[in-house]
Structure 1
Amino acid sequence: MTDADIAEVVEMEQGACAHPIQAWTADNYRSSLRAGYWARVRCEPEGGRIVAVCVVMDGVDEAHLLNVAVHRDWHGRGLARALLQILAERCADRAAQQVWLEVRPSNQRARALYERMGYEAVGIRKAYYPAPQGREDAVVMRLWLRPEENTHALD
């Protein structure tokens, strides 16, 4: 992803979200690029239109998935799964032990995907997301990339 992609990514994401208030802004993307976050887009095979985006902040031995969005017309085609798989492989290559994310409780489709990919719910962030009627909590989820090293598992 580059600065030149931002307007198209914002437009795509606004169409992907249930409410425009849920989408990232151009400033969110610009600051992520300036910070050096891992930001990738996927384009449709014909025409090159951006149909998915993924933004990740790296930590010392972990990564934090900040945003993943897929154009509404491309839902159900495996793009989010493919981006998350690339992310997991990248993190493993970088010796990261886990990936963290927040997801809206109302986003059942995303939560189901994360759970199928091995993420587990580990907490709640109260009033984390803007919502049409105030604020919405976030479910904090974690994926252990090296489960054998999980010495802090919650029983």
Structure 2
Amino acid sequence: MESNSVIRPLEVIDLEQVVTIEQEAHEYPWKKSIHLSCIEQEYPSLVLEREGQILAYVIFNYLYDECHLMNITTQSSHQGQGIATQLIQSLYSHAKLAGMKSVLLEVRESNQPAIAFYQRQQFEVIGQRLGYYPATGGREAAIVMRKALLEA
């Protein structure tokens, strides 16, 4: 990680920057109210910040012994620089400390860059959810992926 970068908990003060990144990066972005709800419910989420600027965030939650990765997004101008890798590695550390045994996620079947990223992170495809996401002209399936968190 660059020396002037910091990974820290996502806070309500970050909401505007996070929503801006979300809207720039996604064709079907989360609404501001969804982001706010995740913060208010104290999901254990993180941001990667450099010189006061949020470059990426990851929103996740715990259920029983499973970490659900709900949203990981890097600012468009900083994609491909390993920022999401740094952030997801931090998620793994937090999840292990919280006693989680695995990380679960859904990803649009058309989002090949994200699927390739998760495969590089050793996520395995474990299923599909038909009609999960809104899409042009209807709905799109989600690929369900899982990664076991091994004891370090």
Q: What amino acid is the match of 2:53?
A: R
Q: Deviations over 1:51-97 (max 9, x none)?
A: 21100011121110010011110110111111111111111222211
In structure 2, the residue matched to 1:40 is: 46
In structure 2, the residue matched to 1:153 is: none
Q: What amino acid is the match of 1:67?
A: N
Considering fraction of residues, name the structure with more strand: 2
Q: What amino acid is the match of 1:55?
A: I
Measured in 2, the distance between the counterparts of 1:88 and 1:112 equals: 18
Identity of aligned residues (%): 37
Q: What amino acid is the match of 1:37?
A: Y
Tell me which stretches of 4 or more aligned residues in structure 1 moved more than 2 Å.
none
Measured in 2, the distance between the counterparts of 1:38 and 1:128 equals: 24
Measured in 2, the distance between the counterparts of 1:97 and 1:134 equals: 35
In structure 2, the residue matched to 1:103 is: 107
Matched, 1:29 2:35: yes
TM-score (norm 1): 0.86
In structure 2, the residue matched to 1:8 is: 17
The size of the alignment, in residue pairs, is: 142
Displacement, 1:4? 2.0
The answer for unaligned runs of 5 or more in structure 1 is 148-155
TM-score (norm 2): 0.88
Compute the RMSD of aligned alpha carbons. Answer: 1.4
Measured in 1, the distance between the counterparts of 2:79 and 2:21 equals: 12
Displacement, 1:132? 2.6
